[in-house]
Structure 1
């Protein structure tokens, strides 16, 4: 790898570290397109998984046991169902249309929260909403590597505090990404050289994690939720124009 490629990977690693520990991975959707500036698509996608898992490990450690078990438990079966559904429909669904659906939902939800703050989406604030959004996350994560927006929408709708928001998202995505890692290794989709490359950037992931934790622990709850809405709007627009 040339110096430019190494610098780009280093930037992405720090970005993932900050994103995971400050904003529940909201910026992660930009990582693969950035890697693809210098790497082939297949290599960028393969490298992304171990980088995400490194970010997950550090975030879980930083917010250990600060997650909400009552919120987490309904998310797990939903995510498993989503991954299964994704593999059942992978040959018939058009990823372009799925990305368009995610983008539209992100934009509509974000604009609703920004412009009509008093309107509550009560149908999301229960276990049924948790299962639906986590299943949607499992599907979008498996098919278009965009599992973050559905969970971010759900957590924003119920108004979690910054630390509980990030902690619960961290343990949720850590579980899902570990399942994806086992599957990728089993099918020979993740070469050992790719895993080694990710591990070499581990010190930079720690730096990103420390910066993210500092942001998360000092930010006001209302400012955090407002920021998450603007990030969702940005994510929606990004997915729309990709």
Structure 2
């Protein structure tokens, strides 16, 4: 008799590090690396199946992240970001059946690398103005969309939030709350699109114990790291993510 969850050892060899990376990124440390989870798991299963398997895992990670950083949330920034991110989720819902996930991955990867190139070649000067809100609205809508398609919402929103120069704990807390609401908004559309089934859910339960471990690892580091090193590691994570997503898009 077939077991109700995936039993392929290769799948778990890929999924275990992917879930740990996702947990670490949820704590803010290595932000952007969480976007690698679906592309990595797509080596063993389809992109929609990988996204569906990660849904319960993401829920646990989001709750743990909010609990760890709840006192550091920038509520004003969250109120601005949330409506545009929800718009992106809605667009993703409507276009999901018509969009190729590899195309989306390639676009997100290319955009991420362009942002990093701009930051490195033309670094912001002391006292420079934060990004305009219209740009934030575009990036946040993009983030909601790419999060819905492939749980890859980190790079676009990072492109808006990083130049705001928030303290690491404020950055992490605000991202934790933002993606909790984004991920909660995906449940009904994912069910409507037929992505949630018992086999994927059972596989999620097998991976679930890794969720608190990954978040714990990231929280331990994020609360002890200097701001300059924090953002260097964020950039490194975004660079690796951008390269992987662009590779997936081109192949």
TM-score tier, shorter chain, comes to 0.7 to 0.9
Q: 2:135 corresponds to which residue?
A: 129
8 Å CA contact 1:13, 1:205 repeated in 2:
yes
> Taking structure 2 as the reference length, what is the TM-score of the superposition?
0.83
8 Å CA contact 2:38, 2:150 repeated in 1:
no
Out of 228, 234, 238, the position equivalent to 2:234 is 228
| Structure 2 CA distance for aligned equivalents of residues 97 and 68 of structure 1 | 33
| Structure 1 CA distance for aligned equivalents of residues 204 and 216 of structure 2 | 18
> What's the C-alpha RMSD, in Å, of the aligned pairs?
2.7
8 Å CA contact 1:113, 1:229 repeated in 2:
no
| Structure 2 CA distance for aligned equivalents of residues 210 and 239 of structure 1 | 26
Deviation of 1:89 (Å): 4.5
Q: 2:243 corresponds to which residue?
A: 237
| Mapping for residues 174-213 of structure 1, pairs under 5 Å | 174-213=180-219
Q: 2:78 corresponds to which residue?
A: 72
| Structure 1 CA distance for aligned equivalents of residues 128 and 198 of structure 2 | 46
- Show CA shifts across 1:54-77 (max 9, x none): 221221121123210011001111
The structure-2 alpha-carbon separation of the partners of 1:200 and 1:141, relative to structure 1 and needing over 3 Å to count, comes to same
Q: 2:109 corresponds to which residue?
A: 103
Out of 57, 82, 90, the position equivalent to 2:88 is 82
Structure 1 stretches of 4+ with a deviation exceeding 4 A read 88-98, 119-124
Q: 1:28 corresponds to which residue?
A: 34
Out of 4, 8, 17, the position equivalent to 1:11 is 17
Q: 1:44 corresponds to which residue?
A: 50
| Structure 2 CA distance for aligned equivalents of residues 151 and 168 of structure 1 | 11
> Taking structure 1 as the reference length, what is the TM-score of the superposition?
0.86
The structure-2 alpha-carbon separation of the partners of 1:89 and 1:194, relative to structure 1 and needing over 3 Å to count, comes to closer
| Structure 2 CA distance for aligned equivalents of residues 31 and 138 of structure 1 | 17
| Structure 2 CA distance for aligned equivalents of residues 189 and 65 of structure 1 | 35
Deviates more, 1:231-240 or 1:170-179: 231-240
How many positions carry a matched residue from both structures? 242
Deviates more, 1:84-93 or 1:145-154: 84-93
Q: 2:4 corresponds to which residue?
A: none
Deviation of 1:215 (Å): 1.0
| Structure 2 CA distance for aligned equivalents of residues 94 and 196 of structure 1 | 26
- Show CA shifts across 1:130-185 (max 9, x none): 32221111122223442111111111111111111111111111111111013223
| Structure 1 CA distance for aligned equivalents of residues 8 and 103 of structure 2 | 36
8 Å CA contact 1:99, 1:239 repeated in 2:
yes
SS at match of 2:72: coil
Deviation of 1:104 (Å): 2.7
Q: 2:160 corresponds to which residue?
A: 154
